[in-house]
Amino acid sequence: MNKTVFLEDLGVNDYKETWDYQELLFQQILDLKIRNRREETALETPNHLIFVEHPHVYTLGKSGDIQNLLVNEDELSAKGANFYKINRGGDITYHGPGQIVGYPILDLDNFFTDIHKYLRLLEEMVILTLAEYGLKAERSKGETGVWLDVGTPFARKICAMGVRASRWVTMHGFALNVNADLGYFDLMIPCGIKDKAVTSLNVELGKATVDMDEVKEKLLKHFAELFQAQIKQKTEV
């Protein structure tokens, strides 16, 4: 089993362009798995992790309700935001500047074949990272993602998640609010969950900004530990 994960940080990159790139890597792994099965070979399948920051964009998952987007196309344009219906699970999500978006494109046959465990480990990665900043983050029963003050009137979401998997290959992933403009969340019902607030790491820490690269380093450390993975910088695209 290949536990090497190639890391790419795309910086600020268009959502659709990044989605197309995810699909390319995802399909390459699927094609290799199909070839292995058809030809009875055992060629090693690669794993990838992409970090990216998107310009303002709203995405709606397969099971999502368009009514959870509270503005029309003209109002989105006025806000400088795009909208896409996409092929992950979950409802509506916002991505934008100040948010660390992570896309693990893994062959889970290299790790474990359990989507529930996969999502829980992604949540744990974020929970452990936030703990390093003195925050007690938690899961909320029946609601994928990472929250603060669960079970209180002040419950608020700091990290959203939504994935797709086929033949145990994953794509899409998580979005952690670090220095996010929370006003953009007012244009939707986040993940279709009413009456729950959204927050950002800088707000919780009372800081103007938090070092994004530092947060990424902590996320990577915990990802490598939880998935027992070896992280390597990808040098070619």
Binding residues for substrate: 88-95, 160-162, 173-175
Task: Respond yes or no: is residue 191 known to be catalytic.
Answer: yes
Catalytic hit among 101, 106, 187, 191: 191
Other CB atoms within 10 Å distance of the CB of residue 68: 18
DSSP 68: G
DSSP 130: H
Q: Which residues pair with 197 in a beta bridge?
A: 156
Cite the beta strand spans of the chain per DSSP E.
4-12, 48-53, 57-60, 82-85, 92-95, 99-105, 137-140, 143-148, 156-166, 169-177, 197-198, 230-233
Q: Which residues are annotated as a binding site?
A: 88-95, 160-162, 173-175
Give the catalytic positions in this structure.
191
